């Protein structure tokens, strides 16, 4: 596992929030030789994504966008750490993924080819204790991985609304200890699933 490189993309609007705390708890379990890079989207001057597929002009990427693109391509594992906002990803996290659309269609881009086979993970904290409420966020990340032909390690879920409250979630704390050790199968859209073969 030491040849892996993790990019943690923080999508919360506040520093040291419950989602970040849960992500750092999971990251602490990674072997010492595994590289980690943390990016806080709320602290970056990243404008809203503009779809330039049919626009004229050179479409030169800004400094922040290019930094994010390179950081993404250098990672074997991308971790989207986003609180559950209205049953979906935060605006910061969604905007980061929107930029993937631009990187996919940029002239001469090999973004999809280079991301194929890498692993996408999710971490989220939410106020509700019913984890089914996070299905929309989980589906969004899973389908993103499926489209990119990436592996999907699932989403580490935790409960917490007030500052530091996720530390009181014993189930989340236990899950965090082994989260990145679990198998991350190749993500597939539901219609691509291999049907079960009848027993002879």
Task: Please list the pLDDT of the chain residue by residue as tens digits (200 residues).
Answer: 558 999 999 999 888 899 999 999 999 999 999 999 999 999 987 876 776 654 554 556 688 889 999 999 999 999 999 999 999 999 999 999 999 998 998 887 899 999 999 999 999 999 888 899 999 999 999 999 999 999 999 999 999 888 888 998 999 999 999 999 999 999 999 887 655 444 44
Q: 82-132 pLDDT, tens per residue?
A: 999 999 999 999 999 999 998 998 887 899 999 999 999 999 999 888 899
- C-alpha to C-alpha distance for 95 and 159, rounded to whole angstroms: 24
pLDDT of 128 = 82
pLDDT of 24 = 96
């Amino acid at each position: 596992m030491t040849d892996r490189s993790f990019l943690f993309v923080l999508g919360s609007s506040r520093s040291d929030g419950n989602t970040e705390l849960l992500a750092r708890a999971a990251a602490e379990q990674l072997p010492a030789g595994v590289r980690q890079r943390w990016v806080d989207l709320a602290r970056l001057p990243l404008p809203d994504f503009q779809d330039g597929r049919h626009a004229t002009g050179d479409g030169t990427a800004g400094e922040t966008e290019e930094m994010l693109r390179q950081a993404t391509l250098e990672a074997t594992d991308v971790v989207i750490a986003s609180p559950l906002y209205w049953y979906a990803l935060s605006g910061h996290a969604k905007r980061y993924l929107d930029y993937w659309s631009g990187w996919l269609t940029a002239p001469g881009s090999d973004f999809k080819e280079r991301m194929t086979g890498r692993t996408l993970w999710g971490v989220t904290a939410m106020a509700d204790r019913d984890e089914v409420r996070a299905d929309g966020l989980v589906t969004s990340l899973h389908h993103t991985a499926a489209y990119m032909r990436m592996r999907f390690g699932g989403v580490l879920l935790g409960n917490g609304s007030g500052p530091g409250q996720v530390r009181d979630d014993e189930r989340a704390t236990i899950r965090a200890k082994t989260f990145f050790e679990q198998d991350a199968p190749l993500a597939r859209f539901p219609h691509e699933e291999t049907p079960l073969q009848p027993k002879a």
